[in-house]
Structure 1
Amino acid sequence: FSAELLCCHLKLQEFPRTKNTHMVTFDLYLHATPLVFIPFCWHGKFETLGALGISVMLLGTAGGIAWHALDILLGLFSAAPEIVNQSLGHEQMHSHHHGGHPHGIDMDHPILALSMTIISISVKEGLYWITKRAGEREGSGLMKANAWHHRADAVSSFVALIGVGGSMLGVKFLDPLAGIVVSGMILKAGLETGYQSLLELVDAAVPSQQLDLYKQTILQVEEVKGCNHLRGRRAGSSLYLDVNIEVDPFSSVSAAHEVGENVRHQIQKLHPEVAEVFIHIDPAISLFAASATDQGSVKETECQNRNLSSEHKDIEDTVSDIFSSKFSGKMVLERITPHLLGDKILLQIEVSMPPDILIRDAMKLAEEAEREILKAVPDAVQVCILLRLGHAIP
């Protein structure tokens, strides 16, 4: 039986390895295909599909080994008295004949089988460690799954080794028992690989504890005031991040965009496994709340669903009416820049004044205008009047 098992093992090993190698090569080729042909968000899925396919092969291998081992074990149990007699040494030199065909063990074949099995175990175990380290270095689930396929070949050779040794010692039940144990090992590896591949295929979120390192990198970028809603998903060996960063609420759009680009550059520089970072920029409301001394009211009302952008035109009209009716000839309204923080508004207003006005008088006019605007615009929590001294920025 051991010689037949080794022969079957070598034949089965030849076919699945060729098929599996082609699968890995094909999936790695698709993973390396330029992004112009395949959407980047699906690009790593081919590698995940390959890992899932290999996990199915591992499950099939485990099932086949377990079924075969149980079949042999049941057959041995039915012939238990004969096995016990052989194990106790009651028959030192015994050869059964059935239909004129001898069933004794030729010692030349077990020794040859033993030698070939040991070589097979050594080669496959070496391939397992080489492929496993390469997969860990590249972060490739496909290569890790392929490494376990090598390990499955090695442990199936180990079953053959135990079978040969058991046959040489006259203890035949070691072969199926070892097969059951080995099938459990392969089953565990197949389930773990398949489960991880399924999670990646459905875009399951990466556990938050695995994202702490990326969060630290983000917070170390200059001008980043906060970081929240950090999420990640895997596609093969690539990781995609989605994050909200907080910047100075009074930063310009271009400055805030530059902060976001700095975050992206820093993450991809320090973490090469990150293929893309989707960055959403939010104002740091806590900074504004502290400066406006109204932190409580901002936090309580920031969740209200109000469309403040629709009120901008009304605010501009209100401010324009105030300047034209109460400050005509004293100040000219140049630009209104609203800052939305929660459901509150901070207004930055640029004005121009006569060149011969005193600074003291200009300050009084600005304070008076701020009071009038705060009365007329209920959502405005702070108004800042800026005097334009030079040419306007286009």
Structure 2
Amino acid sequence: MFLRNSWYVLGWTRDLAPGKPLGRVIIGDPVVVWRDETTGRLHAAEDRCPHRHAPLSMGRVEGDAIRCMYHGMKFGPDGRCAHVPLLETPPKVAIRTYPVVEKDSWIWVWMGDADRADEALIPDAHGIDNPEQPMRANSIEYDAHYQLVHDNLCDLSHVDFVHETTLRIATGAWWAQSAPRITTQDRSVRFERWFVDADLPGAQNGETVDTWISYDFHVPGIFVLRGARYPAGTAMECGMKEPVGIEPVSRNIEQQAVTPIDATHTAYHYATGLIGNTPEMTRKLAERMDVVMATFEEDREMIEEQQKIWDRTDPEVEKLFLPQDKGPFLMRKMMERLIREEAVSEEEDA
């Protein structure tokens, strides 16, 4: 089951080459996006020509329209057929169009009822084009259900084990030895925590820091993290609450998007950055980014193997619930509620 009335990340804005359409599958629906050659505005529609079901993403952009390069049907940004070779008047057919927005370096597509599209539901992220906060970005696909990827991001205690020699060392913290404070909003779950006396990566004298981590996991699968390292003792000075008005030693930022392709495949668009309080420190931290980027492949290997075991296990087999499962549990319940409310609303409108 998928939530349809929501904004999904189709990909990075840099994925859309000039003059070329881009096709992706989101919650089972093929979607094509193209940029207006005159205004630069984005357009999105179903990636399927109504003639022979050829993918329009293999077509070409003509002004604000897209032409199928199988038999030449052309469709305007409103989805209506604008031209067909050999016909003086094009047939009254149209392809479905979708609301589409570019924000924080991502292309967002609303997959549900277009009249309910609300840009206020798009969470704020960092973007990957700000030279003052350099980020490394990429996209991968999982042979796994999207909920398993959600679970992974809502329980970072796995860092100590899955990423024992990579992210665990890069963060300098032990993630499984303390629990975050977890709160919920209508469409997101927030995680906050201090790591007291964490190692300062790269320090030669055993220096420690207090690390503050705060991240939100938004419906339908958007992870936005803001973290910072402070001089040791800062956590106690702040009463173990969020630091305000204190200059950090360094910062780390993340923006990640989980987009279901279908019931068994998931797209994952991620970016990560480590930023020092001086240009020299930022340069040194950037040298560690290859280690951090390796963690995303470690996650994929674990989750894909986990999916294979889930597929071979009777759903009635009870799973053990641990304290670490609070975050994944709350997110699953939130998704279930929203999907259920959406189904009820559709029945009432029918």
Pairwise TM-score range, normalised by the shorter structure: under 0.3
Relative to its length, the structure with more helix (as a share) is: 1
User: With structure 1 as the length reference, what TM-score do the two structures score?
Assistant: 0.20
Relative to its length, the structure with more strand (as a share) is: 2
